[in-house]
Chains A and B, each alone.
Chain A
Amino acid sequence: MLPDVYRHLCAFLDVRYRTEDPHSNQSKWRGLHSPAMNMFIRAAQYACMLLGHVLERQAGPGAARAALRQLEASMSSGRKLFRLGNMVHAMVAARQTIQLPDLVPRICLTASNLIRALYFICDTVLWLKSVGLLPHIYKWKWRNWATKCYYYSLLMNLTRDLYEISWLLEQAAEKEKAKENSFPWDTQDQDLICLETERQSQPFLPLLYCTLKKHPPLLLDTTKNLCDLSSPLDRLGIYKTNPGIIGLCGLLSSLVGILTIAKPHLKLK
């Protein structure tokens, strides 16, 4: 039963377990695709954080909390190890986004990728410290810089999302106006014209919701960025929350990330 569940999960995640030759026994052992595995482990890490906070509130046994904390720490360090080459990814992504046609997304995304590259450099230094290869650096200073870089790159991403949302709302408003302009030709439907004018003074939120529903990639990306923002806001002291909220937000953003990897058409370009 378990391999079947795993098979369906792999199919869902578009893992190429249907390799070219089923009879090969070489060590091109196709485990889960690396970014997908990373997202799973991230989800598990934040779930541990949430669970630890819940257990603390209920005054559960200390052993369980300690075990969860140790598990979370080991997952975090393992993920840090596998993040080692990612500054190159960020530089390549910056090179790609600098060629975007629109001005605002181009600036925002390129800045975001460059700041993310700085974040990965700080992350590498922190890993070297945790392993013991650079014992004489100030961990809190580098961690502070890493958190700031992460925070600014998230802000850049959110700026781009807000720009896209405002553009879509403008488009929706223009479409409404065009529809309204076509109606005066039809003098019989007076009450229909009234309905149209009523719709124009619609509250902002439902309109926003309708617009976002039509564009799921944008909705997912905005949700992910907003959820990711909770952790640096807490660390930098701008908006202090508890580990439970951070765990919940982190779990939600990881699930969105897994969904984006599973269905590539849901990824915002």
Chain B
Amino acid sequence: MEDASRTFGKGSLPPGPVPEGLIRIYSMRFCPYAHRTRLVLRAKGIRHEVININLRNKPEWYYTKHPFGQIPVLENSKCQLIYESVIACEYLDDAYPGRKLYPYDPYERARQKMLLELFYKVPHLTKECLVALRCGRECTDLKLALRQEFCNLEEILGYQNTVFFGGDCISMIDYLFWPWFERLEVYGIADCLNHTPALRLWTAAMKQDPTVCALLIDKSVFSGFLNLYFQNNPDAFDYGLIC
């Protein structure tokens, strides 16, 4: 795993400049937003290095990379910084050759961006469900709201009659959605897909994609991370690392 490295925390030395021919991503192994960008890096075969950040104990130098210390951030050898996961993903698609993840047609590009608007409640709802369950609270209303969002996405797949959100092949929009669907099981809310068969078919198809597969996070490692994270243990972010 390219990203299997210990996090940088407070007191750590800042990393040096990014070597030419590489792009660096500041990330965290379990963060869904950074996951999007890592999927794009992998899908496009872009040579990169990963620096994991301890999000509960951020290095002081990290605020020079992002004003609020958020991830993901891309840094290239020209010292250019790009943040916001969707912007970073689009930057990579524009800046690097090879396979294009966004369609060429301006209308189809716009369609993918409009689809992203439909998705905007999902990250918040999945997180709220996770927190509720971990704190022993019930989350029936939250799950209902999440199911409603999934129904909206189901409608799109039904209307389009395609396997993926961008058509018959996987494309950018699928990668932008994926991280939250991968987490449903380990969050304990996979049953939210019970009433959305097309969406279930989509997740199955996604799991067949070589890029998605290569970055799939081990369930027991993820559970271990979540346990420590909810105990406010700053070592959570390095859970499961051998070195």
- A and B bound? no
Q: Could you tell me which A residues sit within 8 Å of B by CB distance?
A: none
